[in-house]
A and B are shown apart, each in its own frame.
Chain A
Amino acid sequence: MYSLALWHQILQVSKVDLRAQSIFEDAFAALGRLDNISLVMGFHPQYLESFLRTQHYLLQMDGPLSLHYRHYIGIMAAARHQCSYLVNLHVNDFLQVGGDPKWLNGLDGAPQKLQALGELNKILAHRPWLLTKAHIEHLLKAEEHSWSLAELIHAVVLLTHYHSLASFTFGCGITPEIHSDGGHTLRPLSLSQYCVCDIANGNGHGNNLEERRSSHQVSGEVEVLMERMKQLQECRDEEEASQEEMATRFEREKTESMLVATAEEEECVQSRDVSRHFEDPSYGYKDFSRRGEHVPTFRVQDYSWEDHGYSLVNRLYPDVGQLLDEKFQMAYNLTYNTMAMHKDVDTTMLRRAIWNYIHCMFGIRYDDYDYGEINQLLDRSFKVYIKTMVCSPEKTTKRMYESFWRQFQHSEKVHVNLLLMEARMQAELLYALRAITCYMT
């Protein structure tokens, strides 16, 4: 957890908010534990409810994949981002449902069927736009270790769920529960390290004071942002950018998003424990952007979640489409009409900018959006944070978390994290589902 203050807030929320409390209770009853992820999400009980329902359905309820497969896929996905917290959580679950401990020695120990999924996992996590029909064909071709369509959809949903959850975990700096295995972190310490000791020895507290001090200097940040939103709202009708201009704006934003440096540190040393679950650890978003490859543009008007993705998922894995749809909508529409200390603010524009910026990083374009807005609303430190969290979450640092939107509440930052997580999941899903649709036609 980033700071004690966050903890205090969480505890307060759960005390005050009866709804959050009852959800916590239900979650505890269902899982026999209350993980830190749920606790942090407890800031936003409506969302938490939807999230837990979906996750419960994906992991426990009827589905084409067997239980230990589900957890193993979760481990694979989380390991891709070196998220030891999620990995450990699911290693326990995996063993509990009767999974073979040998599999945990690495992907080589797992059945060939799961090994085949490794490639998809890798691409989906870092460069989903490279996913093609051929990948799907490879997995589905009738062989001994092939996947069925329904199984594949289930696996894809799980993979994307855990990729984005890993983003959230790092984004909020969630650390292992103290009592669980690896509560005292398996990751080797690096400069960017933050862990349970933040809570344990109160490091966070000191930083917090410092932050407070600096926050005075940047006071007015919120007001500036609000002013910009207002301006955009007013001048939108007058200033009419040409179509070429719009397209250029999107391209610029896309290219720029790639140049946003993710983290200053050198390549993070991987913990052996986690990296054994996947191959080719050097494969990542960063590599790609350095080489300056071109991300092809994906037009959301041609393949959208609401029209196409939903139908495909619901057809092959009933009810999940509905659950995901509710979750996306919940995340996208969640608002309390507040910004920091200001009340009654329409944040639609800001939320849309964040959502579209993330999709933009994945090359997904909304024809009806003026990408110039993003530049106006999201400042550089925020962009760095988003970029890092979405593309290489393992490099997120506490400093980044603190350096954006300094005057905002923790709960609002968690809200942003939820947006990031869901937008990322939808982006990955869109690419995967489009590839599957291509395969089916």
Chain B
Amino acid sequence: MEKMSRVTTALGGSAISGRTMFCHLDAPANAISVCRDATQVVVAGRNIFKIYGLEEEQFVEKLNLRVGRKPSLNFSCADVMWHQMEENLLATAATNGAVVTWNLGKPSRNKQDQLFTEHKRTVNKVCFHPTEVYMLLSGSQDGYMKCFDLRKKESVSTFSGQSESVRDVQFSMKDYFTFAASFENGNVQLWDIRRPDRYERMFTAHTGPVFCCDWHPDDRGWLATGGRDKMVKVWDMTTNRAKEIYCVQTIASVARVKWRPERKWHLATCSMMVDHNIYVWDVRRPFIPFATFEEHKDVTTGIVWRHQHDPYFLLSGSKDSTLYQHMFKDASRPVDRANPEGLCFGLFGDLAFAAKESLISGDSNRKPYLGGDRRYPIFFFKKPDLTEQFAHVSSALSVFESSLESKRMDWFVKTALLYLLGGKPFAELCDHNAKVAKELNRPQVSTTWTMLRLMFSDPANLSTPGPNNISKLGNLPLMNSFSMKEMGTESRLDRSKGESRQDNIHLEPGNSLINSNNDENEETEGSEGQAEYMFGDAELDDDDLYSMEHEIQAVEEQEYTLPQEAFPLRHEIMDNPSVPEHLQQDKADSPHASGNEAEVMCLTPIESLSLIAISQPLFSPHLPSRFFCPVVREMLSHYAEQGDVQMAVSVLIVLGDRIRKEIDDLTQEHWYMSYIDLLQRFELWNVSNEVIKLSTCSAITCLNQTSTTLHVNCSNCKRPMSNRGWICDRCHQCASVCAVCHHVVKGLFVWCQGCSHGGHLEHVMNWLKSNSHCPAGCGHLCEYT
């Protein structure tokens, strides 16, 4: 603010004002520059070289510098710069390699002052010294930078960038003698103007050409560079090694970069190709532009802040032959349109979800943080201008961890070992498996087994199913369950628990379930250890904010959608026309579950109730078991698709012929193969073999028939023995002789891997009881495992 007032006085009492406006140029612009007092702008291009006055409402053409009947290539400008001390002085870089200075004070029409034709190739950039009147620097395609004293006819010194083309040169704002040069090969060099023999320091800033660089107007050590690799990097030059402190990734190669006056972190960029917009970035927020100007219809070639102490006016020239003045207040703010929501799966099945707090905080359960809103520190309020900050979006991050069991796949191994797949009556198998599943805390699977028993077994044998079993149905299958890292307060959890209890009062079985469920949640929470996650989206002008700890009030959202997806038996309800009216009502309500998670919590129990209600009347001795087959088929497919191929295969085996014909062979084979593969990966060879044996698929059972041959080589001649395992056809010797009894071993042969002597299993075992050396007398200390 202080600086602003100083500027105002410098302007003679009238602050800069204006509006977003533009004017048509006759030709595409290559570069623009403003004079010191911000009242005039010069536009230069291949076929244009004009000065426009900046008035309140419009641009007014002041002067056309392109004079002469057939203007020479000296007028074909690649760059232009208006001297910041001397308001009559301009310099241009011509595409033919000339550096030209112009004196507006000349009385004649042709204002050309000096002409330097020392460069052999196109001059890409000219730059006046910020404080020295007569010093001009140029950088050219031929790899040289030249420093001119405007009082002399020739350059005073030449700097060689070692044969690489120079794309930009910039005098440092603060260090009198220093300038930076950027090169086509990706390097940036720092030079001392007094030492033309060697650069002071060089570093590689980008891959591919560095098109532009700009010193920070206030901070002496900061240099921003932009390159063809679509990046803008900010370098801290105060340290020994240039350190990259910020990096902004844009969507196209960066042609120009200009720091925004009076805003430490902001810079404006425009691109060379494809993208026509001008972006203003806050370097600390590299993922989304702070502001965007979208007026140009072709690539923007020149950008310049109108006044060196005014951050609200930006001028730009473009290939579309227009000159624009952009007002900052008219800029579009991409952040307003952005959705600050994110969802991501972790390596081990954890799920992180971040969303605007306002979206999540809609529920009444939120407990406001005691002691005021700590997220907005007191110093924040000293800047009342909200348009100058990023929109404040505070997001809540919730991390849903998949529970330990599902991570470890323990359940899979245990289930595989404990399941009974045959050898007992059907009902017993089902009961046993249901029990196994229940013990492993997989209630849904357990219930499925129970249901299967009900559906397919002889009605006479029916014993009442444990109500507890069915009520457990409401719980999630473990492999999909997430227990959430609760980052809110305990009291909130209690409260939601209480509410769900109230809601569930009418569901006798569900009641106990919810309680136990919540208790479980709490347990896992404790065991997993607390971690605080924060996602500070608020944007302030100070770093402190970023280190500040947020109290994240995450919400318990874990069962928002998943339970419905994971609930397989719903198909049954939909298929069945006899669903009672009130149950359908419930169902219709459930997808619209509001943000109140208490309601969500009770959602599944309601459905479980409906299941009971349906299955009970449906179960009648009149219904043949085949009636259920389509349902079971769907259920199996559902399990398989969910990834629980174990369940699918186990049921397939247990049900046997009851279901086999319902499912096409290829699918069955596919399930079997997947399950066997899984089992073998867990090294459950026995189970895998049992499955193969019990399978009714011909393609599977034949698995046991393959690879049953053991190839042996003769111990004398080292050739494979084709006919019999104990006598070699070739050397007619008995290959495998027992070292103890010296007879041929036909059958089980055991040998030491160290000395390769051995013999009958029992002979060797006996031998080793009393000796530790090899029975063949080779002196080896045999080892058997």
Whether A440 contacts B274 by the Cβ 8 Å rule is yes
Q: Contact string, A210-244, partner B, CB cutoff 8 A, digits 1/0? A: 00000000000000000000000000100010111
Whether B122 contacts A301 by the Cβ 8 Å rule is yes
Question: Contact check: which of A243, A308, A325, A441 meets B72 at CB < 8 Å?
Answer: A243
Say yes or no: is B398 at the interface (Cβ < 8 Å to chain A).
no
Q: Which residues of B contact A242 (CB under 8 A)?
A: 72
Main secondary structure of the interface of A (DSSP, over half): helix
Whether B122 contacts A240 by the Cβ 8 Å rule is no
The residue of chain A having its C-beta at the shortest distance from the C-beta of B68 within the complex is A243
Q: Which residues of A contact B73 (CB under 8 A)?
A: 243, 246-247, 367
Q: Which residues of A contact B320 (CB under 8 A)?
A: 441
Nearest 8 A-B pairs (CB), nearest first?
A243-B72, A367-B95, A311-B273, A301-B95, A367-B96, A311-B253, A368-B97, A368-B121
Assuming the contacts A441-B297, A441-B299, asked whether A299 and B274 have C-beta atoms less than 8 A apart, the reply is no
Cβ of B210 to closest chain A Cβ, rounded Å:
12
Cβ of B655 to closest chain A Cβ, rounded Å:
46
Q: Which residues of A contact B276 (CB under 8 A)?
A: 441
Roughly how many angstroms separate A307 CA and B96 CA in the complex, as a whole number? Answer: 17
Say yes or no: is A315 at the interface (Cβ < 8 Å to chain B).
yes
Question: Contact check: which of A247, A312, A367 meets B274 at CB < 8 Å?
Answer: A312
A302-B28, A368-B122, A441-B297 given. 12 additional CB < 8 A pairs?
A243-B96, A307-B211, A307-B273, A310-B253, A311-B253, A322-B208, A367-B73, A367-B76, A367-B94, A368-B96, A368-B119, A437-B273
Whether A368 contacts B95 by the Cβ 8 Å rule is yes
Roughly how many angstroms separate A247 CA and B74 CA in the complex, as a whole number? Answer: 12
Say yes or no: is A256 at the interface (Cβ < 8 Å to chain B).
no
Please indicate which of the listed interface residues B70, B228, B252, B319 has the most CB atoms of chain A within 10 Å of its own CB.
Answer: B228
Roughly how many angstroms separate A406 CA and B200 CA in the complex, as a whole number? Answer: 48
Roughly how many angstroms separate A440 CA and B276 CA in the complex, as a whole number? Answer: 11
The residue of chain A having its C-beta at the shortest distance from the C-beta of B255 within the complex is A307
Whether A244 contacts B72 by the Cβ 8 Å rule is yes
Q: How many residues of A contact B (CB 8 A)?
A: 24
Say yes or no: is A280 at the interface (Cβ < 8 Å to chain B).
no
Whether A315 contacts B273 by the Cβ 8 Å rule is yes
Say yes or no: is A306 at the interface (Cβ < 8 Å to chain B).
yes
Cβ of A373 to closest chain B Cβ, rounded Å:
11
Whether B252 contacts A311 by the Cβ 8 Å rule is yes
Whether A315 contacts B72 by the Cβ 8 Å rule is no
Q: Which residues of B contact A236 (CB under 8 A)?
A: 120
Roughly how many angstroms separate A143 CA and B96 CA in the complex, as a whole number? Answer: 45
Say yes or no: is B443 at the interface (Cβ < 8 Å to chain A).
no
Cβ of A240 to closest chain B Cβ, rounded Å:
7
26 contacts between A and B (CB under 8 A): A236-B120, A242-B72, A243-B73, A243-B74, A246-B73, A247-B73, A299-B95, A301-B78, A301-B95, A306-B184, A308-B273, A310-B253, A311-B228, A311-B272, A311-B273, A311-B274, A315-B273, A315-B274, A322-B208, A325-B208, A367-B94, A367-B96, A368-B120, A440-B274, A441-B276, A441-B297
Q: Contact string, B167-211, partner A, CB cutoff 8 A, digits 1/0? A: 000000000000000001000000000000000000000001101
Roughly how many angstroms separate A311 CA and B272 CA in the complex, as a whole number? Answer: 8
- Interface of A toward B, CB cutoff 8 Å: 236, 240, 242-244, 246-247, 299, 301-302, 306-308, 310-312, 315, 322, 325, 367-368, 437, 440-441
Whether B46 contacts A299 by the Cβ 8 Å rule is yes
Q: Contact string, B205-232, partner A, CB cutoff 8 A, digits 1/0? A: 0001101000000000000000010000
Roughly how many angstroms separate A138 CA and B96 CA in the complex, as a whole number? Answer: 37
Whether A307 contacts B272 by the Cβ 8 Å rule is yes
Whether A441 contacts B228 by the Cβ 8 Å rule is no
Roughly how many angstroms separate A247 CA and B72 CA in the complex, as a whole number? Answer: 9
Please indicate which of the listed interface residues A244, A302, A311 has the most CB atoms of chain B within 10 Å of its own CB.
Answer: A311
Say yes or no: is B141 at the interface (Cβ < 8 Å to chain A).
yes
The residue of chain A having its C-beta at the shortest distance from the C-beta of B71 within the complex is A243
Q: Which residues of A contact B96 (CB under 8 A)?
A: 243, 246, 367-368
Q: Which residues of B contact A310 (CB under 8 A)?
A: 208, 228, 253
